[in-house]
Amino acid sequence: MLEFIEWRQIDAQNHYLRARNLSNEQEIDTDIHVEEIDDGLKITYAKRLKRKTLVKIEPYAQGAILIIADDYSGLSMAERKRHSAEVDRSLESWGRELYRYFRHWKHGSWFPPFRWYTRYLWLKMKPTARRVAYMLIVITLFEMVVFLGVVGFFVL
């Protein structure tokens, strides 16, 4: 849900981020500090309503659970209400898309063309381009199935 405009690494833990958040149509322009913690990452934002994001990985019976939590503390309730349009509503979408990505990677990573397509094309696309590409792939597969069905009908 982020369209990256600029990403610049300042040093090992500090970065500059300029992006457009598609979930709330806000532009993000901030420095971020990324710090490794025991079970994940803590991302702190310099100039945002959102103060930090915690990304944790916890063990689970069938593998692991990824937990992503945003922290908006540090402002009064009145100040938070005034800036409510800046709230990032994409965490649920992030979770769904990460789950889909890891599930597809688990099933398709054995196939070299899939790995190449995912790494060098799919991940570099903007979110809107991914949606269009997905629709084109589905439509093309449907057309191929219909075409083969029609050809099979007339041949048999």
Query: Does residue 76 share a domain with residue 16?
Result: yes
Residue 136: pLDDT over 90: yes
Structure tokens at 58: 């916890």
Query: Does residue 94 share a domain with residue 62?
Result: no
Task: Give the predicted TM-score (pTM) of the model.
Answer: 0.66
Whether the CB-CB separation of 33 and 14 falls below 8 Å is answered with yes
> pLDDT averaged over the chain?
87
Query: Does residue 37 share a domain with residue 65?
Result: yes
Query: Does residue 62 share a domain with residue 135?
Result: no
The upper half-sphere exposure of residue 28, i.e. CA atoms within 13 Å in the direction of its Cβ, equals 29
3-state secondary structure of 125: coil
Query: Does residue 103 share a domain with residue 47?
Result: no
Query: Does residue 58 share a domain with residue 11?
Result: yes
Instruction: Specify the number of domains making up the chain.
Output: 3
For 54-113, write each residue's pLDDT tens digit: 989 888 888 888 888 888 887 778 887 887 777 777 777 777 888 888 888 889 889 999
Query: Does residue 83 share a domain with residue 63?
Result: yes
Query: Does residue 76 share a domain with residue 120?
Result: no
The rounded Cα 26 to chain-centroid distance in angstroms is 16
Range of the domain at 32: 1-88
Whether the CB-CB separation of 18 and 56 falls below 8 Å is answered with no
Q: Measure the CA–CA gap between 127 and 62, rounded to whole angstroms.
A: 30
Query: Does residue 12 share a domain with residue 77?
Result: yes
